[in-house]
Chain A
Amino acid sequence: MSEVKKFLYVNRKAPYGTIYAQESLEVVLIGAAFDQDVSMAFLDDGVFQLTKGQDTKEAGLKNFSPTFRALGDYEVTKLYVEQESLDERGLTLDDLQDIQYEDEDDDYAEKPSIIVVSRAGMADVMADQDVVLSF
């Protein structure tokens, strides 16, 4: 069996001004098929990707924010969000979607996927990875 590597997908951009956010999510979903340890990080304007109540009707774009809630099915269960990026934008954890996964090792208990970390903590998360991909 090949070695499991730790992949971190770093998201720094708002969800709809560019295609980066949607492409990142797509790559994560495709990459999740390869049995690697995949997690995502959200910082700078990237934290807006996880906000609740997105409505893209007027923009004529697909609202892909519900797809973040499917990540648990794909065994992507760690979504790191930087505290300072939230603070700088006047956001709190309550402004983000409630994203959960079922822990197979704990009788399928539902647990939160979002992990808020400090800027220093985010640096540690990144340093711990084998592969970091930035979007």
Chain B
Amino acid sequence: MAYDVNGTAVEHDEEGYITNLGEWSKELADVIAKAEEIEMDEEHWAVVNFLRDYYEEYQIAPAVRVLIKSIKKSMGPEVGNNKYMYELFPYGPAKQACKIAGLPKPTGCV
């Protein structure tokens, strides 16, 4: 299974998480978002970029409650709350945003 980014195939697993984290690009993020039926805007990108920074620093995709808590701390409570985050990513902020960010499935998600 693979995403098609301008003719280049990027492998993903059965749930849509990419296999090789090094293959991520902004173009790929848009392709994954489309498959997830998400229209990427600035707010979505803020979360995706936050997740990529978090992974870079800690080598881990955070669980949803940790993600929301950390976003609240760095971006404020109007962004870092359940309601807003689920509006951005209806099928789960951690799961969907991690997928779009090219990270593994969050530890502890089933």
Contacts and interface: CB of A to CB of B under 8 A. Distances in A.
Interface of A: 26, 29-30, 32-33, 62-64, 66-67, 69-70, 73-74
Interface of B: 57-60, 62-63, 65-66, 69-70, 107-108
Contacts of A67: 58-60
Contacts of A62: 59
Contacts of A26: 107
Contact of A73 (B59, B66, B108): B66
A34 to B, nearest CB: 10
Contacts of B69: 73
Nearest to A68: B58
B80 to A, nearest CB: 13
A93 B66 CA distance: 28
B58 A33 contact: no
A69 B58 CA distance: 7
Contact of B62 (A30, A63, A66, A73): A73
Contact of A66 (B59, B66, B70): B59
Contacts of B59: 62-64, 66-67
Given A30-B108, A33-B108, A74 B58 contact: no
Contacts of A33: 63, 65, 108
Nearest to A71: B58
Given A62-B59, A74-B63, 20 more contacts: A26-B107, A29-B60, A29-B63, A29-B107, A30-B108, A32-B63, A32-B108, A33-B63, A33-B65, A66-B59, A67-B58, A67-B59, A67-B60, A69-B57, A69-B58, A70-B58, A70-B60, A70-B62, A73-B66, A73-B70
